[in-house]
Amino acid sequence: MSVGKSVTRVDAVDKVTGMAKYTADIFPPGTLSAKIVRSTIAHGRVLSIDTSEAEKVPGVVKIVTCFDVPKNYFPTAGHPWSTDPAHQDVADRLMLTDRVRFYGDDVAAVIATDDIAAARAARLCKVEYEEYPFVLDQVEAMQEGAPQLHEAYPNNILAHTSDSWGDWEEAVSEPGLLCLDKWYDTPVVQHCHIENHVCCAYMEGGRVTVISSTQIPHIVRRIVGQALGWPWGKVRIIKPYIGGGFGNKQDALYEPLCAYLTTVVGGRPVKIDMSREETFTCSRVRHAIRYRLVTYFRRDGTFVARSMEEYSKQGAYASHGHSIAAKATSGFAQLYKCKAYKFDAYTVFTNTPVAGAMRAYGMPQVTFAMESHIEDIAVMLGMDPIQLRKKNLMDVGFVDDFAGTVNHYDSHGQCIQKGSGYIGWEEKRRKYRNQTGPVRRGVGMSVFWYNTGVWPISLEVSACRMVLNQDGSIQLMIGETEIGQGADTVFAQMAAETVGIPVEKVHVASTQDTDTTPFGLGAYASRQTYVGGMAIKQTGEMLKSKILRHASKLSGLPENMLDIKEGKIVHKETGQALMNLGELATHVLYSLEESEHIAAESTYQCKSNAYSFGCSFAEVEVDIPMCRVKVLNIVNVHDCGTLINPKLAEAQVHGGMSMALGYALGEQLLFDEKTGRPLNNNFLDYKIPTAIDHPDLGADFVENPEPTSPFGTKALGEPPAVPGAPAIRNAILHATGVAIDNIPMTPHILFERFKEEGLI
């Protein structure tokens, strides 16, 4: 048995010895360096670019401006392509643009023999602009008269969706209802993977190859083809190890431009190696979303009617667009019951960095708003927040009529029980009730809703290939990517389990090369263990049956009497080992009568989804005069089904919790109101939590096997980042009686709120 064990990561040794190769470690010799000339205004048009001084810099090979690139508008979102034009992503990007829409937009690129020459020449390009007024706030951008970013989207509204069920008027007319109507706000934050985005392109045989730090090699291949206007078969993407992604690399970033740049220098290798400052504001960011939530409820805590207005800040280009706000609406609609429900969701262009996918895709935003709101209702009612939630949470047996997803278990109840036990909920709720001093403590919690993969919103598919080696080991090739989460390791475990060999006998081809790796969509939507697992199981079974067919011929026993266990062909009933797999593979491959290269390949299309639930509990200490919050203790409890590798699952939860700590208490990208210029796009001024900012992190699980999943598993990649911020916010409320309705809850925000509430 390989599944369910904390086997060591297959890449751990390479990563601790410096052997693991990332994009910047494998640039071909003589690779040229490209630097991008970026707009120094937030909104306008490039009238001219004078490159004469830049051309004189020794080492400059070529300068390409926005007036030179092909006018092939392309989408960048890392979604599967849709053959239905109505479901395709918005194609609003050019490789370089004369119409600039945020401070830092791409107007020209300098290619030089080294980084310093390229950077110097980029600084010497003189760009003349016609400046337009700009808008930074998404709600202001919707108003009449606001500066317009894209002609096709009046009032900057990329998309507006609304829906409702039940009879709202009838529901709210019930006598004696209470109502809470409140706004909540979330900031622009960035992924901050420690490896910046980097890519390198070169030509071979009339085709272009891009080595890239991406989560989605097969999708990037299609987008590079679209951007160049080339047949997709002429594009090859290679994805080596990557230094984190968190959704930022679930987008085509600079691969299209890099591919174009090699074509203008005769196919010589060209790299685009982003700086940290560029990564912060010129790759992708998380959507800042503002919410108005209204809940009508009875005095016993029963929710009757719920509504949401949602305003999502898209930034300058569509990227993943409204998908983020839309996912948030699903979570909001389904997590709590009521008689009537309605929402209005807007995604709005602004002259700010482009928002794309970021870990948990809208759910950290809506969960902060929703779980803060629930807590505020509990305070109004004087009710225990857990009791209020339990009264209204999605019922066991609930079926999503759109996706067919079923809530099979009382996951929330079980997770809450573990979490409250860990934090000492009952005792601390009582103990911290009537504090008066300057330093006070509190406990708070939050639940969350998440799903697994993207079916039926879009295609879910994964292809896998397994090749049997002469020694009885296998190569596993799959389009799903290792981005740090441990995917390769759990893939190896699932393959070993299916075929019947020890996990050390599975060699995962970690690097995806679109010329040879079977098609897969890549790392997003917490889909890979679920959907990739289906492809691995199906392909493993095919391989196993091929092996057993040969074993039957060699042993003279019928196939159904044979099995593979621990790398040996065994008699099913007696358990007797008949031959080892290496002997069989060698015999078959070199047979002079019937040689076969034993391999299997298959595609699995997944047409299901699965709920992944859980909660976070936090204990804080608030120094009121200093406006400082210290998280003393925090735990996440997840029901992500059966754990494939408990130790790696725990590690995944730690990382998400860490991101939630930053989201709650410190992280926010800031922009100059007068110019739109980013103010803190570096690690000194944008603080991600360091080791001293963390308490010990608790991670626990409830393992209800997911019936739709071959190994009983479901989403865990993103959910850990979801519930932490509202749990901390609710703990601050418990400690101080002050509700903070926007994150990050920095001393600046706390000072204003504590002053308003008369605490200081």
Partner 1 sequence: MRTKTVRCTVNGVPVEKTVDVRASLADMLRDDYALTSVKIGCQVGECGACNVLIDGECYNSCIYLAVWAEGKSIVTVEGLKGKDGLLHPIQQAFVEEAAVQCGFCTPGLIMTALSLLNSGKKYTRQELRYEISGHLCRCTGYENILTALEKAINRRDNGE
> Which residues make up the interface to partner 1 (CB under 8 A)?
6, 8-9, 11-18, 20-22, 24-25, 116, 191-196, 241-244, 246, 275-276, 483-486, 647-648, 650-651, 654-655, 657-659, 661, 682-684, 688, 690-692, 694, 696-697
Residue with smaller CB distance to partner 1, 29 or 397: 29
Minimum CB distance to partner 1, residue 111 (Å): 18
Minimum CB distance to partner 1, residue 250 (Å): 15
Residue with smaller CB distance to partner 1, 452 or 485: 485
Minimum CB distance to partner 1, residue 248 (Å): 11
Q: Residue 279: which of 256, 312, 313, 245 has the closest Cα?
A: 245
Residue with smaller CB distance to partner 1, 307 or 528: 528
Q: Would you say how long the chain is, in residues?
A: 760
Minimum CB distance to partner 1, residue 724 (Å): 10
Minimum CB distance to partner 1, residue 398 (Å): 32
Minimum CB distance to partner 1, residue 148 (Å): 36
Q: For residues 21 and 510, what is the distance between their CA atoms, to the nearest angstrom?
A: 11
Query: How far are the Cα atoms of 297, 300, 301, 402 from residue 168, in angstroms, in the given order?
Result: 13, 20, 18, 21
Q: For residues 523 and 536, what is the distance between their CA atoms, to the nearest angstrom?
A: 16
In 252-318, at which residue ranges do the beta strands (DSSP E only) sit?
A: 270-273, 289-297, 303-315
Task: Look up residue 156 and give its two tokens.
Answer: 């900057």
Query: How far are the Cα atoms of 93, 296, 385, 448 from residue 302, in angstroms, in the given order?
Result: 47, 9, 13, 19
Put residue 267 in one of left, alpha, beta given phi > 0 → left and psi -120 to 50 → alpha. left
Residue with smaller CB distance to partner 1, 44 or 245: 245
Residue with smaller CB distance to partner 1, 434 or 690: 690
* CB proximity list for 259: less than 8 A, separation 6 or greater: 201, 208, 210, 224, 227, 228, 235
Answer whether 143's CB lies under 8 Å from 68's CB: no
Answer whether 283's CB lies under 8 Å from 274's CB: yes
Alpha helices in 44-203 (DSSP H): 52-55, 115-124, 138-141, 168-172
Minimum CB distance to partner 1, residue 373 (Å): 27
Minimum CB distance to partner 1, residue 9 (Å): 6
Minimum CB distance to partner 1, residue 13 (Å): 6
Q: Residue 551: which of 530, 577, 574, 525 has the closest Cα?
A: 577
Minimum CB distance to partner 1, residue 195 (Å): 5
* Strands of 157-165's sheet in order across: 157-165, 340-349, 303-315, 289-297, 178-185
Q: For residues 755 and 760, what is the distance between their CA atoms, to the nearest angstrom?
A: 5
Q: For residues 547 and 112, what is the distance between their CA atoms, to the nearest angstrom?
A: 54
Minimum CB distance to partner 1, residue 227 (Å): 27
Q: For residues 426 and 178, what is the distance between their CA atoms, to the nearest angstrom?
A: 27
Residue with smaller CB distance to partner 1, 156 or 713: 713
Residue with smaller CB distance to partner 1, 14 or 566: 14
Residue with smaller CB distance to partner 1, 195 or 741: 195
Kind and range of the H or E element at 636? Answer: strand 628-639
Neighbour count for residue 674 (Cβ, 10 Å): 7
Residue with smaller CB distance to partner 1, 242 or 600: 242
Residue with smaller CB distance to partner 1, 349 or 448: 448
Minimum CB distance to partner 1, residue 510 (Å): 11
Residue with smaller CB distance to partner 1, 276 or 755: 276
Put residue 315 in one of left, alpha, beta given phi > 0 → left and psi -120 to 50 → alpha. left
Q: What are phi and psi of 112, to 5 degrees?
A: -140, 170
Q: In terms of C-beta distances under 8 Å and separation of at least 24 residues, what long-range contacts does 81-87 make, across chains too?
A: 81/219, 81/222, 82/458, 82/459, 87/458
Q: For residues 342 and 346, what is the distance between their CA atoms, to the nearest angstrom?
A: 14
Residue with smaller CB distance to partner 1, 619 or 706: 619
Residue with smaller CB distance to partner 1, 650 or 741: 650
Q: 666: exposed, middle or buried (C-beta count within 10 Å: 0-12, 13-18, 19+)?
A: buried
Minimum CB distance to partner 1, residue 640 (Å): 17
